[in-house]
Structure 1
Amino acid sequence: MPVSNARPFPPAAHDLPLATPAQGAAEASTQLWHHVDAWFARPRSARSVVLWLSLYLALAANWPLWNELARIGGAPSVYLPSAAAMALLVVCGSVALLSFTAWSRWMKPLWFAVVVIAAIAQYYMQSYRVVMDPSMLANAMQTDAHEVSDLLSWRLLFQVLLVAALPAWALWRVQVVPMRFVSQAWRNALMLFAAVAVAVGGALAMGRELAPLMRNNVHLRYMMNPLASIYSASAVAIRPLFKHSRRLIPVSGGAALGASYAAQARPPLLVLVVGETARADHFALNGYARETTPELAARKVLSWHDVHSCGTNTLASVPCMFSPLGKTAFEARKDDHENLMDVLQAAGLAVFWLDNQAGGCKGVCDRVPHASAFDTVDPGVKSALCEGDECLDDVMLHGLDARLAALPAERRGKGVVLVMHQMGSHGPAYYKRSSPDAKRFLPECKSNALAECSHAELINGFDNTIAYTDRFLGKTIDWLKAQSGSYDPALLYLSDHGESLGEYGLFLHGVPYSFAPEVQKHIPMVAWFGDGMSARDRLSHSCMEAGLDTPLTHDNLYHTVLGLMDVKTPSYKPALDALATCRGAAAPSPSGRGLG
């Protein structure tokens, strides 16, 4: 039978299976995905990758900057030109920065790291309204593991994935075209020059809008992402490289104990409590409507109403408040100086620094005896008061008699200054800073992502930390009273800085001092004097009570403690001693002039 070479007829159209709408949509989506994937997988130069990445970061990782410009500008017609100019600066700055990395496919991990840094920075700027200036990055780099855990959340992971997922896939797919070193180098240099030229040209063209904007809102420069984070981190990392050139300038020369020690019946005992993140306006002693400080009120302490910090973070404030230089000179110094602890020790007193912060004393206690409160704590106490190496402040009161007795007997016989550095109201996990029996205000925020809580819950959580500090200080005063048979006791408490709790959309602290809100700088300062200390210092309580509205700052601490402990030294300035006008048999009333 002959075989036919004829092709079979194709099936009729009505015999073909019909595609459903769902199948058609799926095929279209698949085709679209293949086109998109093919576009991303195209061979590109490293410079092209850098340019696209810079554009993406300007769009996806700078929402805090755009929102802040909208808030400042008001009407769109006002802020949109400024936003366009800032966008140009952000893109050009990113291109200029990343031009140093535009070499080969081996730069992909570095590019992705920049994206992750930008995503994390955006999250914290959005969530806590902070800016990425060098002081904020320095503070972050000194944060311990427990404080870091307080800042981690599923919201952070989601926000990072939201920003980083697309560039991660794009960087994985893109093929970076290799080039000879010399050819790549001059092209990168050209891109750097072009980016700088466009930025300078744009800034000059928009100078009328940008100049006043940047002059009146300095914080905007630290919101340009990722430029600000990389610049600030680099500044903090490079700074220690030049630390070897800083000398330690002695200020303890000539320190000696005053005449009151010659015939003293008992040595003085001062407990100086360095608070953490407490706000003056949340102390009932200062007029706050809530009863946050009943224990201190019951012990009839003195509370100054107008006291301001040296900085807005612990790293800036603690070294400054113990310095003899004062805020202005301290910030302008070129060398390190001895501090209050050095002078007290040089005068012959027993001094001891007890820390309940893993971040430590920021160098203040380096040359004097010091310890962490949780180093030798009893296991039973640790299980009750601590979570890992993070403890409630009451841990510092356990074993305090033994710590006092362990100080050198010869020095202890002259006098003692004990510094206790609190965990206090350290955020954002305020709920961890107070024990269950001290939580007077409920419900409180139980999240470290403060945006997840209502404002009332946030305030409750913070106020509970103040109530806990109140109880801690009350217990400390009671311990001091128990020492009255052997010592002339006194307590002085003041916080290192304040805290933002949503005012102006800001949270936490660390905003650069020049434009930080008042609540991050206005701090509580409280004092209690036992009868023995009042008598040996001849303190007039009526005089001190009349001066509670006198403006003071951290600058006063150094000189006030030296005056209180009757330590004579050339660096002491009576005008900065907050108690000088109230000391003496017939102490006059204060004039009311500012001492800070």
Structure 2
Amino acid sequence: FSVRFLLKPFFALLFITGSLVSYSTLKYKVMFDQTMIQNIIETNPQEAHSYLNGSIIIWFVFTGILPAILLFSIKIQYPEKWYKGIAYRLLSVLASLSLIAGVAALYYQDYASVGRNNSTLNKEIIPANYAYSTFQYVKDTYFTTKVPFQTLGNDAKRVVAHEKPTLMFLVIGETARSQNFSMNGYSRDTNAFTSKSGGVISFKNMHSCGTATAISVPCMFSNMNRTEYDSKKASNSENFLDIVQKTGVSLLWKENDGGCKGVCSRIPTVEIKPSDNPKLCDGKTCHDEVMLENLDDEIAKMPGDKLV
């Protein structure tokens, strides 16, 4: 990227994107791996807007915008002959590789030890981390062989039939740390509301496939466990909801937070937008109470056993 017309735009782009990545890394302690890139691309404007504040704007201006402007103000003298420019670049690359090889030869044990004890270090080096992760995401999403769609549970059936239709609610919330739940032994009373309702069972040996919604939700409904989970397979396969629907159960997916990540793509879905209910929404997000709006009518239209 040391080509005359690409050099400044390329590094200006690195300044700008690197500024946002560095802020997020320091502020939210996140690593920009392929999963995080996927989560960013699949987010919605409301969720993205929630991270906008004065702190990030100041950081972005001083570490991204101003360095990029300064870069364009610097005059670079290029060799008059194109072949001289290529020769200089080749010499620079060879010198850099020689220096790296020399350092590696002299301090290999030290670097090997650091690598073994810090397995995530390659995901923390800016801008290499997000540049590589973005490349991998684009390659895996758009330039790899498409996985054939797989159907599951074609022979599934309900064993017990009830005279009175059954109604079941499955509520999916944000990923949370089990160790910070008072019902799991945490010292602070963090479950004051749910503990009063009685009959709440905490499954303590459960683990999310990830904190990113794009990973955790599809994995939750797939037939894979967290160690073998593959996003591509999950997106090209039926899931738990498809199997339940095959048994004749009426399904309804209702949500107010940015999409089901493909899980509900084959069942009836109601997506509540912030503009739909001014009373319970602020134009950007909605209170969970909005999920109860029209719910009685929606359930009444569902025949037989129901899963909402």
Q: TM tier, shorter chain?
A: 0.7 to 0.9
5 Å-filtered alignment, 1:308-347, equals: 308-331=207-230, 336-347=236-247
Structure 1 contact 285–297 (Cα < 8 Å) conserved? no
Give the alignment's Cα RMSD to 1 decimal. 2.5
Residues 357/244 of structure 1: CA separation in 2 closer, same or farther (3 Å cut): farther
Equivalent residue in structure 2 for 1:195, among 65, 90, 96: 96
Structure 1 contact 119–160 (Cα < 8 Å) conserved? yes
User: Where do 5+ consecutive residues of structure 1 fail to align?
Assistant: 1-100, 419-596
- Report Cα offsets for 1:380-402 as digits up to 9, x if no partner: xx222212242111111111112
Corresponding residue of 2:298: 403
Structure 1 contact 350–416 (Cα < 8 Å) conserved? yes
CA drift of 1:325 comes to 2.1
CA drift of 1:365 comes to 1.1
Equivalent residue in structure 2 for 1:349, among 249, 266, 270: 249
- Report Cα offsets for 1:469-508 as digits up to 9, x if no partner: xxxxxxxxxxxxxxxxxxxxxxxxxxxxxxxxxxxxxxxx
Q: Which has the larger radius of gyration?
A: 1
1:269 aligns with 2:167: yes
Amino acid at match of 2:297: A
1:215 and 1:355 map into 2 onto residues whose CA distance is 43
1:177 aligns with 2:67: no
CA drift of 1:296 comes to 4.5
CA drift of 1:179 comes to 5.0
Residues 333/144 of structure 1: CA separation in 2 closer, same or farther (3 Å cut): closer
- Report Cα offsets for 1:527-566 as digits up to 9, x if no partner: xxxxxxxxxxxxxxxxxxxxxxxxxxxxxxxxxxxxxxxx
1:294 aligns with 2:193: yes
Structure 2 contact 152–237 (Cα < 8 Å) conserved? yes
Amino acid at match of 1:319: P
5 Å-filtered alignment, 1:356-435, equals: 356-358=256-258, 360-374=259-273, 377=276, 382-407=277-302, 412-413=303-304, 415-418=305-308
1:198 and 1:370 map into 2 onto residues whose CA distance is 58
Amino acid at match of 1:384: K
Corresponding residue of 2:45: 145
1:114 and 1:339 map into 2 onto residues whose CA distance is 39
2:11 and 2:110 map into 1 onto residues whose CA distance is 32
- Report Cα offsets for 1:429-484 as digits up to 9, x if no partner: xxxxxxxxxxxxxxxxxxxxxxxxxxxxxxxxxxxxxxxxxxxxxxxxxxxxxxxx
Amino acid at match of 2:132: Y
Corresponding residue of 1:117: 17
Corresponding residue of 1:133: 33
2:231 and 2:271 map into 1 onto residues whose CA distance is 31
1:197 and 1:371 map into 2 onto residues whose CA distance is 60
Q: TM-score, normalised by structure 1?
A: 0.48
1:256 aligns with 2:157: yes
The number of aligned residues is 305
Structure 1 contact 104–176 (Cα < 8 Å) conserved? no
Structure 2 contact 274–281 (Cα < 8 Å) conserved? no
2:25 and 2:135 map into 1 onto residues whose CA distance is 19
Structure 2 contact 147–232 (Cα < 8 Å) conserved? no
Structure (1/2) with the larger helix percentage: 1
Percent identity between matched residues is 27
CA drift of 1:302 comes to 2.0
- Report Cα offsets for 1:90-142 as digits up to 9, x if no partner: xxxxxxxxxxx111145422221111111221111111122221111211222
Structure (1/2) with the larger strand percentage: 1
Residues 178/190 of structure 1: CA separation in 2 closer, same or farther (3 Å cut): closer
Amino acid at match of 1:394: E
Residues 204/400 of structure 1: CA separation in 2 closer, same or farther (3 Å cut): farther
Structure 1 contact 282–292 (Cα < 8 Å) conserved? no
1:156 and 1:375 map into 2 onto residues whose CA distance is 25
Amino acid at match of 1:312: T
1:213 and 1:187 map into 2 onto residues whose CA distance is 33
Residues 332/276 of structure 1: CA separation in 2 closer, same or farther (3 Å cut): closer
1:156 and 1:291 map into 2 onto residues whose CA distance is 30
